[in-house]
A and B are shown apart, each in its own frame.
Chain A
Amino acid sequence: MIIILSSCSDVEDISDADFVSDVSVAISLINTQLTLDSVSERLNGLTSIVIAPNGQVTIKYRSEVIRQDADDIFPVFPVIIDVPIVGPNSIWSLESLASLTDAFADNEIRKAIFQDNNVFFKLQHASDDDVIFTITIPEFTLGGEPFTRTYTVPPRLDEADVYNTVSVSLDDYLFLPVDNALSFIYTAVDSEGNTIDMTATAMKLDFLNFEYVEGYFGERIFDIQGDIIEVGLFDKWISGGLEFEDPKVSVRVENSFGFPVKTEFQKLQFKTINGTIYDIESGLIEEGVAFDYPSLDEVGEVKETSFDFNKSNSNIQQIFIDKVASVNYDIDALANPDADPTISGFLNKESYFRIDVSVDLPLNGIVNELVISDTLDFDLNEVEDVNSAEFKFVVRNDFPSTVNVQAVILNAQNNPIDVIFEGDGIILDAAMLGADGRTVNGETTIEYVNLPKDRINTIKEGKRIVLVAYIDSKNVSDDYLWFYSDYEIDFKLGAILNLEN
């Protein structure tokens, strides 16, 4: 038993022992195949990458989409409209509506369908007996039958006594005005059939609200407002040039209002990274662009109109050479710009404008000694037990631009304390062009960075890392070069970490 106990004592020595190791761990850290295609799949928000069927890439910067619905432009008019009925055969001109709301100024309603409206009548007579009142409005029809109602109006008690009928829904009633007017036909008789004169008669509508309106809506401006499009391409710019062959501001309009509308640009300005503001010069600004719209036979359809400001119709290419940081625009829509009242248009509850403005940068350009930089915070204080390290970079560049990358470590006072790569940094040689204008696979570059213990200790004092990239396409071609979606930067990083316990 003593022997067994002494054996257990040995084992306790083992279980209590500290594990001492000075191992070397080899591990892959980063393995990324960076293509514009792969980046585009992961972008969200207002920046996107559009890839053409042939693989050519366009970066698209958007603002929020602007949308205005029928109720925004022709709001429901929530006031009881008092339409006087003067005599058994009377006519009321719809022009009177213009005095109630601007929305009806210059309007001529030729056809409409009511929605969520109610109507009732205010009736007054001088008889001491019941009066049978029957009224017909020929312009209001439902299934071809004109609106007709009969009411029994009780004897008048005094001169102030006015009888209000019950409300009647006008939903789905078709409204077909004749000569932009509404007519009323009524009879009023007592119990013996004698005609009674009405001392006061009126129709009350609770809302001016239509499911569908057809007619002429006048020449009017809809204030669609605008927005600012941020162009982040030059956020990290330090020096050098990036020239695009054909930058664009694209406007795409969806319109389901059935009347002519054209653009009125209040503003289309470009602000560069230096703060200079340019107004675009283009005939489209002065002339405007007419939106396509559905005809009376195309109610419910949405028509699209697209146009853009490009190098052939504006000075946008010259503006972009100055490195645009944002685009500020304000667009109005001018309805019935020709003020032709013979044009009959329509709108319904589903009608809307939707305007999508974007800055499109087709990646067909010249990169001229472009230097960009970014500074990132980092903290390696938690990295312990690493005695020394060797990093291995394996990089291949399929883009037609040479890329040099350097990384500089800054301390808390922003003073450089270490430069990661020797010389000009890790150099990713440009891929050369093939006969079809696309690059062939680039050469693989392998670079090692050794970090002995003293250098690791220095880097651990760092607080920020400045990444600087120098990019140039001139050594491949002086012409504009397309970037294709399948161009790839294959970036791989592995490390051997010599650990000490």
Chain B
Amino acid sequence: MYRVISTIIVIVLVRFSAIGQDISIHMMDSVYARTDVNPAFRFSNNLVFDLPGISAGAFTNGVAIGDLLIENGGLNELKLKEGMEDVNDINYVTGNMAVNFIGVGLNMGKWQLSTGYNWYYQGSINYTKDIFLLAANGNAPYIGETLDVGPELLLQSYHEVYIGASYQMSNITLGARIKLLSGINDISTDNASIKLTTEEEIYQLRVESDYVLNTTGILDYNGIKDVDIDADKLLDELFSNFLGDNIGLAFDFGLDWKVNDKFNISASILDLGKISWNKEVINYKSKGDNTFEGVDILDYIDDDQEVVLEDSLYNLLDFEESNEGYSTSVGARIQLSTRYQMSPKLTLGTNYYRASNTINSRYLLSVNCQYKTLPWFSIGTGYGISSNSPILIPLNTMFHIGFVDFYMSTENILSGFSITTTNVSSVKVGLQLGF
């Protein structure tokens, strides 16, 4: 099983990166992409074209998987025992990627309208400390104990087409977006309880399971040792199934309160909605209590049948297949932020951001500053903490050349941009045309 889980972790990291770079985007006041975190945020141009941009990131609250890599004779070896001290009771590895293909904003005085098309991946796996210990040590050190070895899993990709509007009422701006979602593919757990007990007498193995794994045909389960995930279908089918099956809806709501000429408070709640998955659905369900107590040699009296322990062990986790449609939420996000205009060039701010998906959530808290060094260049940084990192140093830059704005940001410049050796790694780049 640990090989399956490690494979999934690799898939999460390879195929996905994050939307977690929202630590400082609220400070980038002319960027259309700010409306992603609060539909009440306004852009300054009358007409804005948000050109293709990408944001990506990966997070873990547990062992950075790169720390497990040991080079030995020119070959990389993955040694789980290297991460024994860092593993938490519940660990997650999350990766996200968003490709903002196009966005168009229209400023109509008090009203601002926006529309666009985005494409999302999100991938997460939650694994317990018991899974890690079982993979690192085997079950022998835990004789007489019950280990919780049910991983939670989410691998999902979908299209998003949105229409948004904001309305400015004196010093308060309200905004909302409606998003039409079109699922591409999904693997997600519903119930995720698998408990493994190794009895003391002769190490009988008992598995109590209440596990549901839903897929849209990209996972093929033929026994615990034969799990095939066609991850390419998550990434490569970029334009597949657009507005076909697997339809969903989601909503964003936001508020931006201009307390005075210098101070703004804003709040938003995002991605309230779900996708209903109904294309090529396979549900794998395991519920029950199975025990392997050893082979009864009486079953082999006068029988040439070969005694095979392996099959009996794999049958401990027995899945039934069905084809019932299901739904998943796309993950709600909340942002609370403030901005204070210290001078025409310097803006200070704070930010609280919480992002969730169906199996885990992550928050971050930051103080930010944005400095406009030149009329065409500004830079921002700050300090933040998150649920999986005690220190985040964000960095963003914006270039404004004529009607072109180019920006990039990262949530943590200290990460060195390695998604395997640090707990937080993200980057966002974008380009917009403003008229």
Binding site for B on A (CB under 8 A): 1, 3-4, 6-8, 10-34, 38-39, 42-45, 392, 394, 491-496, 498-499
Contact = CB atoms under 8 A, between A and B. Distances in A.
Contacts of A19: 3, 6, 77-78
Contact of B420 (A13, A22, A498): A13
Interface of B: 3, 6, 10, 13-14, 17, 54, 56, 58, 65-66, 69-70, 75-81, 135-141, 143, 198-199, 201-205, 292-299, 301-302, 309, 313, 410, 417-421, 425, 427, 429
Given A29-B309, A45-B302, A7 B76 contact: no
Given A18-B78, A494-B203, A494-B294, 7 more contacts: A7-B418, A14-B69, A19-B77, A20-B79, A29-B202, A32-B294, A493-B294
A294 B64 CA distance: 91
B421 A10 contact: yes
A34 B296 CA distance: 9
Looking at A44, A496, A498, the one whose CB has the most chain B CB atoms below 10 A away is: A496
B80 A492 contact: no
Nearest to B57: A7
21 contacts: A3-B427, A4-B17, A6-B418, A7-B417, A7-B418, A10-B420, A18-B76, A20-B77, A26-B138, A26-B203, A28-B203, A29-B202, A31-B295, A42-B302, A43-B301, A43-B302, A392-B203, A394-B201, A492-B202, A494-B294, A498-B140
Q: Which 7 A-B pairs have the closest CB atoms?
A: A494-B202, A23-B138, A24-B140, A31-B294, A28-B294, A26-B203, A17-B76
Contacts of A17: 69, 75-78
Given A6-B417, A7-B417, A18-B78, A39 B302 contact: no
A22 B293 CA distance: 24
A13 B293 contact: no
A362 to B, nearest CB: 22
Contacts of A25: 138-140
A408 B421 CA distance: 53
Contacts of A493: 202, 294
B interface: dominant SS: mixed
A470 to B, nearest CB: 21
B298 to A, nearest CB: 6
A499 B138 contact: yes
A21 B302 contact: no
A5 to B, nearest CB: 10
Looking at A7, A27, A33, A495, the one whose CB has the most chain B CB atoms below 10 A away is: A7
A64 B139 CA distance: 53
B296 A495 contact: no
B78 A30 contact: no
Contacts of B13: 11, 14
A6 B13 CA distance: 12
Contacts of A27: 203, 205, 292, 309, 313
Given A24-B141, A392-B202, A29 B298 contact: no
Contacts of A3: 410, 417, 427
Contacts of A392: 202-203
Given A14-B13, A21-B135, A42-B302, A28 B419 contact: no
Contacts of A7: 17, 56, 58, 417-420, 425
Contacts of A10: 66, 418-421
B77 to A, nearest CB: 4
A39 B141 CA distance: 36
B25 to A, nearest CB: 17
